[in-house]
Amino acid sequence: MWHGVLVMNNTQSIVLTGFMGTGKSTVSHYVAKILKRRVLDTDQMIEERTRLSISRIFALRGEAYFRVIERGVCHELALRSHMVISTGGGALMNEDNRKAFLESSFVVCLFAEPSTIESRISKSQNRPLATQWKPLLEQRLATYQALPNAIHTDNKTPENIAKEIITLWTESQ
């Protein structure tokens, strides 16, 4: 198997973060397929728990409520090993969430050019913060850049991005 024994011995979960539209969800499935792991997605878990879509949560309950649920999910997932965890773009902006994942897991931040982000998120219906993406990205960029493992995703296939992530992860051991 690709990367053999090193991969099998590493029990740490891989956590994908990065701004909206950087490809976290898509790439998480490629990483999971290669490693034969399960994907857990914070937004999906929030939707299951509240039985509401992300846009409905924001519309009915507000962002603060969303962040409370998100925090609970992140702290729960930080305790899990052997997973591939895809997080919502704002999840690791919270210092407690960030610390919890950085202590327990292998955190990778995905980056994309603003033009790529804009074209990807302009099509989505379930991203309540998409209209504010420019100032939000500016506000968050330093925090994303301070994370330990960065991957630039422009002009790469999801499969190659996944392989890059696994290489970083095996080299980190």
The percent helix, strand, coil of the chain (3-state, each to 5) is 60, 15, 30
CA distance 159 to 173: 22
Kindly state the smallest distance separating residue 33's Cβ from ligand S3P, in Å: 19
Residue where the block lists tokens 């895809």: 86
CA distance 109 to 113: 14
Compute CA distances 146 → 19, 90, 108, 128, 150, whole Å: 14, 15, 11, 25, 9
Told to check if 23 binds ligand S3P by CB under 6 A, we report no
Q: Per-residue string for binding with ligand S3P, 45-64, x by CB under 6 A?
A: ---------x----------
Kindly state the smallest distance separating residue 111's Cβ from ligand S3P, in Å: 13
Told to check if 74 binds ligand S3P by CB under 6 A, we report no
Told to check if 90 binds ligand S3P by CB under 6 A, we report yes
- Of 16, 43, 151, 162, which one interacts with ligand S3P (CB under 6 A)? 43
| Site residues for ligand S3P per CB under 6 A | 20, 24, 43, 54, 88-90, 127-129
